[in-house]
Structure 1
Amino acid sequence: MKQTFTVILLLLSLLAEAQHLNLQGTVLSSSSEPLPYVNIGIRNKNVGTASDEHGKFTLELPATHATDTLTFSAIGYQERSVPVSELVGMQPLEVKLQEKTERLQEVVVQSRKLKTRKLGVTGRLPMVWGNPDQRESKDIYEFANFIQVKDRPTELLSAHFYLTSSKLDSALFRINLYRNRDGKPGERLLEERVVQRLSTSEGWVSIDLQPFAVYTDEDFFLGIEYLPATGADRRSIMLGAKLGGSSFSRKASLGNWEEFVGASLSGYVLVRQ
């Protein structure tokens, strides 16, 4: 009887393992340099993770995703999509991305007297936005505001957000700029990696964008992406908000953008027009 019980436990254990696919690998450049903070996910299914500062990633997938495709997306590199079934068989699991060669379209700022303006949501009420779900702990979450420049040649000087945390003194964030595609964030407008550790001691933080020489004459989305450390509770970071308007959020790498109406992220850009 004891032997039969042991066999049953073993079979149940094997069955549980078969219900999940465990992927552990590294994302590299074409020159075999590790790529940090790469977004890795299955599009339209809100399943994903992000590589760490050494390009390494771990992702546990239900067996139902065995026929899906995993997409790897990094700023400055061409996206790559690989079938999950192919990744499972890789030893070692290494995914290489090719660098992009395209650059931003040149925008000419006229020689008239320029003005400095704040575009976006500059206020904050005593309320905060957090992350409502505790999904994959190594995955990102991101909020984005729509910024209108009204066809004016515009230089982006800095980005500003309101952050707070009861558990962490600081956290790692990436600032993203997205083109407007059908009223939602689309492809990246800026192919530069803007990753900074920001204070979360409840207050406004500023990210200098001048070193990246960002010029545009089109409306865009300003995004702030939380890159959680291993083992960090994704709900430990919250962002300021204001009643009225709307903003977008997503809870997974390459996940679906969802619009929230009735509240908007406290985030804006300082520009010169």
Structure 2
Amino acid sequence: MDSSKPDIWDTDTVTGGQPNRPSKPGLISKVLAPAVGLWLRSQVEHIEDLEVEVEAGDRQILSGCIPQVELSACKAVYQGLHLSQVRLTGQNIRINLGQVLKGKPLCLLEPIRVEGTVLLQQADLNASLMAPLLANGITEFLLTLLSASDLGEVPLESDPRLNLQNLQIILDANLVTLSASLISMSGNATAIAIRTGFGLASPHELTLVNPQWLPHATAKRGLPLSDLEGYTFDLGADTQIEQLKLEAGQIVCQAKLLVSP
């Protein structure tokens, strides 16, 4: 990663302290590093400045397992989600080593637990609004909100996906503001602006903290949405968030993920 870029994490935070280093990398690990890089590129829509380090000796790898792989990258796009910076560590990775040494593509033989930190800028979130993970969560949340609100004619039953335009997210310290225009079946537009904090209900569930209905996206105060206090977004059991930090213009997330073959 470009050394001129600010480092948003320290190693102890990401990995929980430095583990005992594996044996000195050998010839096989040098062959594996580009193979891992090619596999990673095949898993994403876009990635820049990808760096891969295989920390293992040849004897360890020949036993059928890569003890540890570290990677860093910028401007990654995975399943429609845009990430400004990524740093991940995976351990005890089993791959098709024999085929890789013959020039075949790398494949995972079993799921692996990956631990690391990602940085999302405000622009990343707005570019990711159509990604299923983000879009489904927003839609479910708005359906819950609208079903409990009197906003006039809204396409709840005829179009459960909602007809939203000008959807935008603004990030501030400990706060997220979501704004959009909701288009009814007759073509009328209803302005929506909601500001909320986020907490962790569990390692894989985000919960709303003090959500408010705003007259417009930049309003300083709004009306409390008491019925939505504690509303949760389930990210799935394969995701474990350890820390979520909301700052002006960006989010830093430290988490563990289960990556399947």
Report which structure shows greater RCO (CA 8 Å, sep ≥6). 1
TM-score interval for Structure 1 and Structure 2 normalised by the shorter chain? under 0.3
Give me the TM-score of the superposition, normalised by structure 1. Answer: 0.24
